[in-house]
Structure 1
Amino acid sequence: MRVLYFAWVRQKVGLGQEEVSPPPAVRDVAGLVAWLSERSPGHAAAFANARTIRAAVNQDFATPDHPVAAGDEIAFFPPVTGG
């Protein structure tokens, strides 16, 4: 599973992307966020308020209950505003 981080999420995590192999219990975006939060202090800081982060699974916007699986690309980013 490839995880991409953008904007301040990337700054807090300290990585732009990483390959991860979460345990089988991680079945959706919310579970992935919870699992990622335990990987490092930077991950914990980035996901401390998960409601402020948006996700995309395979380049489609995704809700916390959206399923994830091995081979997926999951991106995390702050809400985007127009201007």
Structure 2
Amino acid sequence: MIQVRFFAALRERSGKECLEMALPDGVATVAELIGWLEQSDQTLAAAFAATPCRMVAVNEMLASEEASLEDGDVVALFPPVTGG
């Protein structure tokens, strides 16, 4: 099982805070996971399309969309943020 967490605009646009799911067959990276989610859920596809720039964390460490995934991982997806 993996956990996918959505933050900020992605959470608002998708209406989802968290998904817990088995890592789909053939999905080995965050990019592949996002592609799989887009194909399986129109609401998530629309949220990703509206938020083309996003940041990724895997197990609380910033990562790229090319990061490898394993069973038990927690993936966080969020738009870029700035502080002040």
Conserved 8 A contact 1:22-1:35:
no
**Partners in 1 of 2:34 and 2:46 — Cα distance?**
12
Letter in 2 for 1:36: L
Query: Tell me, what secondary structure is at the counterpart of 2:40?
Result: coil
Aligned sequence identity (%): 39
5+ residue gaps, structure 1: none
Letter in 1 for 2:69: V
TM-score by length of 2: 0.89
Number of equivalent positions: 83
Identify the residue that residue 11 of structure 1 maps to in structure 2: 12
Query: Tell me, what secondary structure is at the counterpart of 1:76?
Result: strand
Aligned CA RMSD, in angstroms, stands at 1.4
Runs of 4+ in structure 1 off by over 6 angstroms are none
TM-score by length of 1: 0.90
**Partners in 2 of 1:28 and 1:49 — Cα distance?**
21
5+ residue gaps, structure 2: none
- For residues 12 and 50 of structure 1, do their structure 2 counterparts lie closer, same or farther at Cα, with a shift above 3 Å needed? closer
Identify the residue that residue 63 of structure 1 maps to in structure 2: 64
**Partners in 1 of 2:50 and 2:68 — Cα distance?**
20
Conserved 8 A contact 2:51-2:79:
no
- For residues 31 and 50 of structure 1, do their structure 2 counterparts lie closer, same or farther at Cα, with a shift above 3 Å needed? farther
